[in-house]
């Protein structure tokens, strides 16, 4: 019986439920800032605590699961994320809040490496396409988390955000009966002999270092915009929270479209070419987005969101192809930096906002994809069509 499609769907669904929590955090920042009377820089440390935790720990989880598969981390990762978001609104002080979001980050760190590895083993052919299907769950989670958090808080107060525990706990329960089948798929792939990678790359460590840096700038761009959009539209957030919720949903939700399209396109035109083009198009799109008004704001939010996230699965696959014997470690490193370093970027942008204002911090984001273009041009990977 071929249960591969069902397992891929479950992995994508679990990814969605885990990242609903991650997507909710930027939308909760204005409320947490007011509750604890924080500066913009201090507010950024909330994301930093959650994301840096997963950035540091995620490659370690990947290293462990490469040595011995632990599919149970899929269920535990969902559950820990859910418990973290349930506890967050009840934080009595700022230090306790930081401790809780750090705990929440551990759930993200546990889930992603095993999820990426399982997906790679189940969808071994056209891996970028299969990875896109898994990644789109995370994109949808980010998109759903932000407007859901705003709805819950505007209706029930900050404590309403605890309801985000429900989807995470539900996904954790669904994984339990599927774990033996996932373990079987991973074991089957591990038993196959792995031929040396023929990708034309003589210095894989140098190549993966450049990919990590590109991911860093991409993460700063996405989370920077997600975190500062509620502040840019602070008046609308107070008088018409649905406006900001819709804008965040379109921006983050477009990442799902970008991910679904990006994987197959990369398989067709080549991963490096796709990475370069996606970075290049972001520069004019973000410039226009930050200066737009009316309906153009929503249209450009979709375009920018799709462009930023279109290479998420592509960079995972590129790292896996460079290190085919370390699928979870490679995935955990890229995904860890993708999630973790965004918190560093938001904190630095918060310092800019404290000194020069929120608009200045937002416009600084426009420089980030330009650095990504330069790094993509330096990649020692052939400009060839994908496999």
Residues of the domain holding 68: 4-378
Assign 318 to helix, strand or coil: helix
| Residue 144 covered by a domain | yes
| Residue 387 covered by a domain | no
| Residue 21 covered by a domain | yes
| Residue 9 covered by a domain | yes
Instruction: Answer yes or no: are the C-beta atoms of 220 and 337 closer than 8 Å.
Output: no
Per-residue pLDDT tens over the stretch 160-182 = 999 999 999 999 999 999 999 89
pLDDT at 194 over 70: no
Outline where the chain has alpha helix (H).
4-36, 40-67, 72-87, 94-122, 127-156, 165-190, 204-232, 234-239, 241-269, 271-289, 295-309, 312-322, 327-356, 358-364, 368-378
| Residue 384 covered by a domain | no
What's the pLDDT at 199?
54
Q: How far apart are CA 313 and CA 134, in angstroms?
A: 8
Q: Which of 159, 147, 167, 284 lies closest to 226 in space, CA to CA?
A: 147
| Residue 114 covered by a domain | yes
Mean pLDDT of 190-200: 58
Q: Residue written as tokens 């069509």?
A: 385
CATH at residue 40: 1.20.1250.20
| Residue 60 covered by a domain | yes
What's the pLDDT at 359?
86
pLDDT at 17 over 90: yes
Instruction: Answer yes or no: are the C-beta atoms of 200 and 382 closer than 8 Å.
Output: yes
Stated as kind and residue range, the H or E segment containing 182 is helix 165-190
Instruction: Answer yes or no: are the C-beta atoms of 223 and 26 closer than 8 Å.
Output: yes
Q: Which of 11, 18, 14, 117 lies closest to 61 in space, CA to CA?
A: 117
Q: How many domains does the chain have?
A: 1
Strands (DSSP E) contained in 127-193 are none
pLDDT at 201 over 80: no
Measure CA 68 to chain center.
25
Mean pLDDT of 63-86: 90
* Percent of the chain with pLDDT strictly greater than 90: 29
| Residue 385 covered by a domain | no
Per-residue pLDDT tens over the stretch 332-387 = 777 776 666 666 777 788 888 888 888 888 889 989 999 999 999 888 876 554 44
Measure CA 162 to chain center.
21
Assign 212 to helix, strand or coil: helix
Summary mean pLDDT of the chain: 84
pTM: 0.73
What's the pLDDT at 315?
86
With bands split at pLDDT 50, 70 and 90, how would you rate the model's confidence at 327?
Answer: confident
């Amino acid at each position: 019986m071929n249960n591969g499609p069902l397992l891929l769907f479950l992995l994508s669904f679990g990814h969605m439920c885990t990242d609903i929590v991650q997507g909710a955090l930027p939308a909760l920042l204005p409320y947490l800032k007011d509750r604890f009377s924080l500066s913009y820089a201090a507010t950024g440390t909330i994301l930093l605590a959650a994301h840096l935790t997963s950035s540091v720990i995620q490659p370690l989880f990947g290293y462990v699961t490469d040595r011995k598969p632990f599919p149970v981390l899929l269920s535990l990762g969902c559950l820990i994320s859910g418990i973290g978001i349930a506890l967050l609104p009840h934080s009595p002080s700022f230090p306790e809040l930081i401790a809780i979001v750090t705990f929440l980050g551990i759930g993200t760190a546990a889930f992603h490496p095993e999820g990426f590895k399982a997906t790679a083993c189940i969808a071994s052919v056209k891996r970028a396409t299969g990875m896109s299907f898994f990644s789109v769950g995370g994109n949808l989670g980010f998109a759903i988390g932000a407007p859901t958090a705003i709805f819950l808080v505007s209706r029930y107060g900050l404590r309403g955000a605890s309801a985000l525990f429900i989807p995470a706990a539900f996904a954790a329960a669904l994984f339990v009966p599927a774990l033996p089948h996932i373990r079987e798929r991973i074991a089957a792939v591990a038993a196959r002999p792995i031929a040396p990678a023929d990708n034309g790359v003589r210095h894989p460590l140098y190549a993966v270092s450049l990919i990590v840096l590109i991911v860093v700038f991409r993460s700063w761009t996405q989370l920077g915009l997600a975190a500062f959009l509620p502040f840019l539209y602070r008046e609308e957030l107070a008088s018409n929270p649905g406006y900001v919720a819709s804008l965040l949903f379109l921006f983050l939700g477009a990442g799902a479209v970008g991910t679904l399209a990006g994987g197959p396109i990369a398989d067709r035109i080549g991963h490096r070419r796709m990475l370069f083009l996606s970075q290049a198009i972001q520069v004019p799109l973000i410039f226009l987005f930050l200066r737009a008004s009316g309906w153009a704001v929503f249209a450009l939010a979709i375009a920018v969101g799709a462009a930023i996230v279109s290479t998420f699965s592509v960079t995972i696959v590129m790292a896996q192809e460079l290190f085919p014997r370390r699928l979870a470690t490679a995935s955990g490193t890229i995904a860890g930096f993708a999630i973790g370093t965004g918190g560093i970027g938001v904190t630095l942008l918060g310092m800019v906002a404290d000194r020069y204002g929120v608009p200045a911090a937002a416009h600084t984001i426009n420089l980030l994809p330009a650095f990504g273009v330069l790094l993509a041009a330096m990649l020692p990977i052939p400009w060839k069509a994908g496999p």
